């Protein structure tokens, strides 16, 4: 049984590690962002309500997000555990999650925070280049295209995603430090937090995460 929360700034590698853990432990990766997009696509009552909230530029209320997670955790694939990715994001959400899990007779087993310096995250994300034509992705330093500013597969000019613009990344990091980083203290006080260093090499980060999981379980 592994009921896990992954914390980390945008670009820290949470999604990649969640995918690896999901495959290794046979448990689902639960992303509230993905669930919300699915509900909107289905045109459900919740999806339509969330869509109007997002289009108005507002945040989805905590009670709606918690309700989404509650329903998702009832699925059979969660009986041996799960990974929460992107939730909770704030202390009130974490408190609501604890209350909801207590009502279900459950609890979080471990919380892993992947730490990467802001400067390294900006370097990682602003160096990304993508091909809009074939979907190939590169990095100017770690994985450069053999065709310089063009795609090595199809020759299309590579572009920078809006989310990878250095100014946008800096703003996202500011929000993370203000809203989400305090969760580390919250879970540290519960004795559940494990902090690991996110490294340039994927295998090094994975090794650090696996070590933290062994210590936590």
pLDDT number for residue 31:
87
Cross-strand partners of 112: 6, 194
How far is it, in rounded angstroms, from Cα 16 to Cα 177?
Answer: 21
How far is it, in rounded angstroms, from Cα 71 to Cα 93?
Answer: 16
pLDDT number for residue 200:
80
pLDDT of residue 204 exceeding 90, the answer is: yes
pLDDT of residue 198 exceeding 90, the answer is: yes
pTM (predicted TM-score): 0.84
Q: Tell me the mean pLDDT in the region 5-27.
A: 93
Q: Which residues are catalytic?
A: 14, 89, 128, 161, 172
Mean pLDDT lowest among 54-58, 100-104, 200-204, 211-215: 54-58
Q: Tell me the mean pLDDT in the region 136-163.
A: 92
pLDDT of residue 34 exceeding 90, the answer is: no
Please check whether residue 111 is in contact with residue 14, taking contact to mean a CB–CB distance below 8 angstroms: no
pLDDT number for residue 115:
96
Average pLDDT value over all residues in the chain: 91
Q: Which CATH superfamily is domain 2-116+180-216 in?
A: P-loop containing nucleotide triphosphate hydrolases (3.40.50.300)
pLDDT of residue 201 exceeding 90, the answer is: no
For the chain, what percent of residues have pLDDT higher than 70? 100
pLDDT of residue 130 exceeding 90, the answer is: yes
pLDDT number for residue 157:
96
pLDDT number for residue 209:
96
Q: What is the pLDDT of residues 50-97, one digit of tens each?
A: 888 878 877 788 888 888 899 899 899 999 999 998 899 899 999 999
Q: What are phi and psi of 67, to 5 degrees?
A: -65, -40
pLDDT of residue 175 exceeding 90, the answer is: no
Element (H, E) at 60: none
pLDDT of residue 19 exceeding 80, the answer is: yes
Q: What is the pLDDT of residues 162-171, one digit of tens each?
A: 888 899 899 8
């Amino acid at each position: 049984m592994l009921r896990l929360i992954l914390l980390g700034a945008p670009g820290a590698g949470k999604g990649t590690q969640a995918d690896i853990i999901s495959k290794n432990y046979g448990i689902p990766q639960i992303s509230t962002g993905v669930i919300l997009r699915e509900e909107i696509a289905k045109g459900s009552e919740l999806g339509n309500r969330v869509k109007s909230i997002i289009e108005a530029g507002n945040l989805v209320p905590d009670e709606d997000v918690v309700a989404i997670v509650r329903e998702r955790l009832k699925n059979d694939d969660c009986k041996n555990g799960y990974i929460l990715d992107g939730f909770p994001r704030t202390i009130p959400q974490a408190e609501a999650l604890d209350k909801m899990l207590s009502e279900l007779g459950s609890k979080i087993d471990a919380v892993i925070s992947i730490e990467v310096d802001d400067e390294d995250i900006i370097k990682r994300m602003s160096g990304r280049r993508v091909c809009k034509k074939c979907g190939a992705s590169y990095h100017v330093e770690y994985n450069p295209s053999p065709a310089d500013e063009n795609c090595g597969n199809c020759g299309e000019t590579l572009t920078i995603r809006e989310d990878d613009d250095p100014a946008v990344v800096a703003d996202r990091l500011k929000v993370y430090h203000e809203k989400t980083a305090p969760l580390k203290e919250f879970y540290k006080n519960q004795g559940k937090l494990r902090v690991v260093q996110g490294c340039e090499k994927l295998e090094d980060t994975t090794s650090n995460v696996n070590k933290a999981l062994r210590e936590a379980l």
